[in-house]
Structure 1
Amino acid sequence: MEQKVKETVGCRASPWRRAAAGALALGALAGAGAAVAGAPAAVNKYTGNVIPNGSVLLVWSADGCSTPVCSTKTSQDFLAVLDAEPNSTTYGNVIWTAELPNVLASNVAGNIVGLLGSDSHNDPHHMLSYTSYIAGGGDGLVAGRKYTFAGGVISKNVFRFDITSVRNIGKADIAVCGTQPRRSSLTDDFIVMPSQGKDHKILYTYMSNYVYGPGGTVTEIDPDRKAPTLLGSCLPSVPAVAPLLTSIEQGGLMGALGAGADDNPLLGHKGITEYSAVVRADQPRNPTAYTSYPDTRAQRAYNQGVFYLFNKDVGLEALPHGMALTYDGKYLVQSDYAVAASIGGAAINGALRGLCNQSTAINTGPLGVCGSSFGSSVRVYPTSGSYTHGKTKDSLAKADIYRSNPYIRSVSAVPDGPRHEQVIFHEENEGLMAFGLPHQSHHVVGQKGWVNLGDPSYDKAITAAGIAANAAGVSVSSAVKGSPNYVPHDGAFAAAMCGGTVFYSPDITISGDQYNVFGGKGPYWRAVYDVGPCTGVSYFSLTDDDRFLIVPISGIESPGSIDPNGAVEFDRDYPREHSRRVLTLDVRPLIAKGHADTPATAIACDFPAPSASNKFNTTLGTRATRADLSGGISGKFNILKHNNEADDCPRVRGAIGQFETGPTGVGAATTVSSNVS
């Protein structure tokens, strides 16, 4: 294969998450070494010797062209291989690119009557990150070879790359053409499903319905699926008629309700199963019982976006995005982000800011720009744990909790908090993009890494005495399930990108017909770290030992000198609110409470308290009062309020980038963009 390196490479953060049996960490994949042909080996810049197993980073990227009339010779998307070995002479460089096949009539959007092929206008977004799929031999692929899957947000295409040799990745296969799903669009997160053998299905989320409106799916394919073609063009499916026709109605949900799973084998749809995420769950989209400071304004009880106008049941707002498996593989969990069409509409939000207010007279806008077409819920599905090559509806088991969708075990919503935002989808609970589950089944009281020295906040655990106590702690095997010292890790984290808040639920396994400690049905959620409106709290990583949450803050808004329309939230609550940074949150105080299913043990951490004297009704960013017991080691990162400062609230233990107020906790407001200074 001729080496081709593109001039422009874009990069998007991905969730580094271990998926299921049969998966392998990408870092280990990077040790495949240099191939005979392909990218050059990593050469040590100090010794000139080849670095064995030099690490690489795979980036699912695109050409810079953004119009349908771009040259078909130069507008191809690709998978870039970057040298990630720090001492390598080519560290940080693109050393190889893997191409896509050019199959016509594959892309749904960004195309002109199928003239552009599958290698253009995909809008590369998610890929099977952190892990690869390792073929077991009974899946139609060569046993032992490693693959990753990547999807195009706009095109709906899904591609399969053989990454057995990461320095010589060949042209991808197209696994699913965008014209082949019957009821879905906007390709998102990927995951390897668990099974008893060596072979596994691939599941991924589609965030919206067939025409980029409301009502997405979780979709299943065999890992060896190759999109059916005819005369060099993708063989399309016949769109599901009912969902397609009702997409122009409010909600577009009539045809999706009761559908369960669509595995119609006709034409191009053969080998695809689309599990509807829509369910009539009678769950409030703003559960006020889960916070001490609920937003009880009437307009926050219903959806204000045009796609779901006046809807109060969060179960109907099915917008699957982030996805994860519980540590035992028994449950698949996904979070809801947004109606795909409304994301494009949000680009004109600045121009409409004058209309985006909280009055009862004007609370909607074109494509839901001023209203809420963003998700606030989490859905749980039981897995089957089985694999049969060629079988449809193979990965998810029926829960039979809700009559309108048998595959969903629970639907739960995160609560809205006291903030009153000019732009409604900047409220705390809007736009759940990322989702994360613990890796471990449990820890035990007194275990290494979990000794708090009698301090519920775990501040003392990072002092010299705490480090010594943790080094001498007991092992995880010193207690078994059911014993008083056994602490289960059945919780979950979700992050609202638009709302800028991290949420925690202590038990994601509760079914939708069970009552939680707050009196609601299914899992309950509490706000544990509020960064601020539209701060872009998106993909995060829970460390393998479940003790720390690594949270990137993308800092979406800009100062008035750059964007006068978007400056209203920039540094609004505290200096450098929208600076780009990465935080390490100590989440042991949360996870150490186990299921937190009694009034005495329920999660106490919550939003920062309201403030009637503040125009936006919040104490976010004011001076914190919680005592620092760490001896000053991490106290400099916990100067300002991001929660109600309960003992079980997470602490910031470190930060990378321009932190909010600097090491002393006192800093001037940012007057120029921290993105350029």
Structure 2
Amino acid sequence: MPRILGLRRRWAAIVGALALAGAAALVGNWQSFGADTISESISSVKASDGSVFSVTNHLVNTDLSSLGMRSSSGSLDTSGKPHKWMVVWAGDMNAADNTSLTDITNPLHVVKTDGSMTPGPDFLAVVDAEPSSPTYGKIVNTATIAPLVENEPHHMQYIWHAGNTIYAGGLYSAATYMFDVSKLPALTMSGVSIPADTPCGSVPDAFAVLPDGTAYGTYMGGPVLPGPCRYTDGQVRVGNGFGGTPGEVVHFAPNGKVLSESPATPPTAEDPSRCANIPALPNATCANVHGIQVRQDLHRMVTSDFAEPRDIILDPVKAPDPNLYRPTVRFWDTSNENDPKMIASTVLPNGPRGKTPGTDPLAQENRAGMEPALTNLPQNKGAFAETFCGGALFYTPDITAANPAWREVFDDATAARKINPKADPNVGCDGGSWVAVSPDDHTLYHAVIGRNASGTDPGMTKMVYSLDISKLIASGANPQCNITTVPESYNGGSQADCPTVASVLPVNDPTTGGPHFGSFDNWVKGPDGRYQETTNYPHMAFTNYFVARYGMDGDHMVCQTNVNDGKLSLDTTFRDENTGQPCVSFNRTNWPHGAYGPAKPHLALYVINNG
């Protein structure tokens, strides 16, 4: 308890100072500013320590008027107007985001002195995603967060279902926000979790919303303070501090209340030769949980471990040990929703490229597990895992098994060489990221950040691709696909049930980044003109941004693809309001909330308001 109380005092002092600095920004409901340009509204919540957090909407009046969403009194009125939106979680770009590679990819860039690189607010951008709308592709609201700024907005949940709260985390402060989106394009803050609420974890990453509206969240980093930490169930683990190891899984209520903290590492040590920790821990562990997927019908949760986070965001200083990048995937029993138990820690196998002499250790196929993906149909129990550095996909047929075994079933190089015959995954991380399985378990989708060609490195294709996985899923408990030779890495597996390439969408991002995360549009209009959920997704959104301070930035585009029976094509009608080019650019000078310059969009969700 003294650790927690001390943490609360320090946290309150920080928040209090920031709140005083931003107090002038607090305004009443629906005040107009300028020549009928922007309307502002604010909502706030009290954190567990009494500090106040808020979100301020900055709605573009002319857009609301053209959509017929302003009442005679000038207030927002969406009644009887079903509409589809894209909600994008983004952070302000600042001087610290100029990495060591900026001068390589843009050697003649001008250093800005206009204030656009100074600290600015994190925000949710609300983009019109209604194809028939006069403001299609326009940002009609930016909802800014206070008092914390520059929190490196990261993930929300993977998909939004009707009635869900949006859960959104930031890497640098260990704060997680909850938002009510029932009145879009305006939104309100419905809860917040601060570090004192989650003392056993830091660096919130991803969220999985459960049928009852609560959510599991992965906290990739170690306890807020180094030393022993006691979890909700009474277990104790020793960690090496904020941004370190081990991470945890947090169960949240929609109002931000922490329902439980659960350890991601077993009470005994994991293999120290595989799991580096800086500084070293009494019990070595790879538990830095990143991606998360849940099959509550099977009472199982799967999380993948990425890396000890604080050691990989110090560009140009690189992680001193490749074993800080994790090869592990964890399985959990969620029979007691409020007390999930980690029941198996599994290791992804190294592949034929990684076993080849001279291969960069970071390019070993099992290096840096970022995201899992689960099958969906009741009769299927399989799971996929992908690796950020290793550039490979792995499969296990039964997540309810006591010790699920993985096999490599696809290499990103097979898809990359459809576009660039010289693409080489052996030189370094290819940035394999978001992965998802279609509701019918027929198609797998995967985003790859890629690398630019330089020197002797021919680069790695920046792309979003899809695979036909139907034969692999049909193999049931006895899949045969298993990539064991280098030729299979480049040409696909030789067994009959191996995945095959359905579509490759190359992404032209000239920066150090590329497509990192995606989400599906799960909404179509019914005969009554109201939106209803569909499993036949018409679109997919992807964002070209990872983490600038890691050394992988991006061109800050939010793009939309058409999805047609597993085939992907860029939606060229989804265009930026300023450039007129496909995709919405977050590299702009002015926003509804002010002239803050470029922003970093990490994830987009499709959300509807049926009026």
Contact 1:208/1:217 (8 A) holds in 2 = no
1:417 corresponds in structure 2 to 351
* 2:216 pairs with 1:203: yes
Q: Separation in 1 of the partners of 2:309 and 2:449?
A: 20
Separation in structure 1 between the aligned mates of residue 230 and residue 483 of structure 2, nearest angstrom: 31
Q: Is the 1:219–1:273 contact (alpha carbons within 8 Å) kept by the matching residues of 2?
A: yes
CA distance in 2, matches of 1:4, 1:183: 44
Q: Which residue of 2 aligns with 1:525?
A: 406
Change (3 A) 1:160 1:580: same
Structure 1 residues 277 and 310 mapped into 2: Cα distance closer, same or farther (>3 Å)?
Answer: closer
The Cα of 1:192 is off from its aligned counterpart by 2.0
Cα 1:653–1:4, aligned 2, differ >3 Å: closer, same or farther? farther
Q: 1:434 matched to which residue of 2?
A: 371
Distance in 2 (CA, whole Å) between partners of 1:148 and 1:132 is 10
CA distance in 2, matches of 1:317, 1:217: 19
SS in 2 for 1:124: coil
Match of 2:320 in 1: 369
- Residues 472 and 497 in structure 2, CA contact (< 8 A), matched pair in contact too: yes
Shift of 1:327: 5.6
Match of 1:152 in 2: 170
Q: Give the equivalent residue in structure 2 for 1:129.
A: 158
**Cα distance, 1:185 vs structure 2:** 0.8
**Secondary structure of residue in 2 paired with 1:95:** strand
Whether 1:648 aligns to 2:529 is no
Corresponding residue to 1:164 among 142, 162, 182: 182
Kindly state the Cα deviation for residue 604 of structure 1 after the two structures are TM-superposed.
2.5
In 1: Cα distance, 2:502 partner to 2:474 partner: 17
* Aligned mate of 2:431, from 536, 540, 543: 536
**2:523 is aligned with 1:510:** no
Which structure 2 residues correspond to residues 584-595 of structure 1 after superposition, within 5 A? 584-595=466-477
8 Å CA contact 1:213–1:340 kept in 2: the answer is no
Quote the Cα distance in structure 2 between the aligned partners of 1:377 and 1:503: 12
Gaps of 5+ in 2: 1-29, 35-58, 69-78, 98-114, 413-424, 509-553, 558-611
Which amino acid is the alignment partner of residue 653 of structure 1? A
Whether 2:204 is the aligned partner of 1:187: answer yes
Q: Give the direction of change, closer, same or farther, for the CA distance of 1:242–1:56 in structure 2 (3 Å limit).
A: closer
Shift in CA distance, 329/61, structure 1 to aligned 2, threshold 3 Å? farther
The equivalent of 1:456 in structure 2 is: none
| Partner Cα separation in structure 2 for residue 219 and residue 343 of structure 1 | 29
Letter paired with 1:552:
A
Structure 1 or 2, whichever has the larger Rg, is 1
Structure 1 residues 305 and 210: CA distance shift in structure 2, 3 A? closer
Q: Which residue of 2 aligns with 1:552?
A: 447
Corresponding residue number in structure 2 for 1:499: 390
Q: How far apart, CA to CA, are the structure 1 residues paired with 2:226 and 2:491?
A: 38
**Residue number in structure 1 paired with 2:487:** 619
Mark the CA change 1:302 to 1:61 in structure 2 (over 3 Å): closer, same or farther.
closer
Which structure's residues are more often strand, by fraction? 2
Q: CA deviation at 1:51?
A: 11
Equivalent AA in structure 1 for residue 452 of structure 2: S
Structure 2 counterpart of 1:559, which letter? A
Of residues 226, 235, 238 in structure 2, which corresponds to 1:243? 238
When normalised by structure 2's length, the TM-score is: 0.58
CA contact under 8 A between 1:42 and 1:54: conserved in structure 2? no
Q: Is contact 1:39-1:167 (8 Å) kept?
A: no
d(CA) in 2 for partners of 1:261, 1:496: 20
Instruction: For residues 503-540 of structure 1, give each alpha carbon's deviation from its aligned partner in whole angstroms, at most 9, with x where no partner exists.
Output: 111111112xxxxxxxxxx0000111112342222102
CA gap 1:73/1:176 in 2 versus in 1, 3 angstroms: farther
* 1:94 matches 2:139: yes
Deviation at 1:374, TM superposition (A): 1.2
**What is the TM-score normalised by the length of structure 1?**
0.53
Instruction: Trace 1:394-409 onto structure 2 (pairs within 5 A).
Output: 395-397=338-340, 407-409=341-343
- After superposition, the Cα gap between the structure-2 partners of 1:524 and 1:423, relative to the gap in structure 1 and judged at 3 Å, is same
Question: Does the aligned pair in 2 maintain the 1:38–1:168 contact within 8 Å?
Answer: no
Q: Secondary structure at the match of 2:165?
A: strand
CA contact (8 A) 1:81 1:97 kept: yes
Question: Which amino acid letter does the alignment assign opposite residue 407 of structure 2?
Answer: R
Q: Which residue of 2 aligns with 1:455?
A: none
Unaligned runs of at least 5 residues, structure 1: 6-33, 44-49, 103-116, 135-145, 221-239, 264-268, 286-300, 350-367, 386-393, 398-406, 443-488, 512-521, 572-577, 597-602, 610-617, 622-639, 660-673
Deviations along 1:136-164, one digit per CA (max 9) or x if unpaired, are xxxxxxxxxx4211010111111111100
Shift in alpha-carbon separation, 1:309–1:178, aligned structure 2, 3 A = closer
User: Any idea what SS the aligned residue of 2:183 has?
Assistant: coil
Asked whether the equivalents of residues 82 and 93 of structure 1 are also in contact (C-alpha less than 8 Å), the reply is: yes
Which residue of 1 is the match for residue 288 of structure 2? 319
| Conserved? CA contact 1:160–1:174, under 8 Å | yes
Confirm or deny: 8 A CA contact 1:57 1:84 kept in the other structure.
yes
Q: 1:262 to 1:98 in 2, by over 3 A?
A: closer
**Are positions 1:58 and 2:58 aligned together?**
no
